[in-house]
Amino acid sequence: MPGSLTVDTKVLSPPYSILAIGDPPTLAAAMNIPGGAQDGVKRVGGRMVVQQADRVDVTALRQPKQHQYAQPVK
What's the structural domain count of the chain? 1
Does some domain include residue 61? no
DSSP secondary structure of 10-22: EEE-SS------S
Does some domain include residue 73? no
Q: Which residues pair with 12 in a beta bridge?
A: 5
Express each pLDDT in 7-60 by its tens digit: 888 899 988 888 888 888 898 899 899 998 899 889 988 888 888 888 888 887
Does some domain include residue 60? no
Residue-level pLDDT at 1: 66
Does some domain include residue 57? no
Does some domain include residue 1? no
Give dist(CA 33, CA 70) in Å, integer: 32
- What range defines the domain where residue 21 resides? 16-49
Does some domain include residue 22? yes
Does some domain include residue 37? yes
Contact 33, 41 (CB under 8 A): no
Does some domain include residue 25? yes
What global pTM score does this model have?
Answer: 0.56
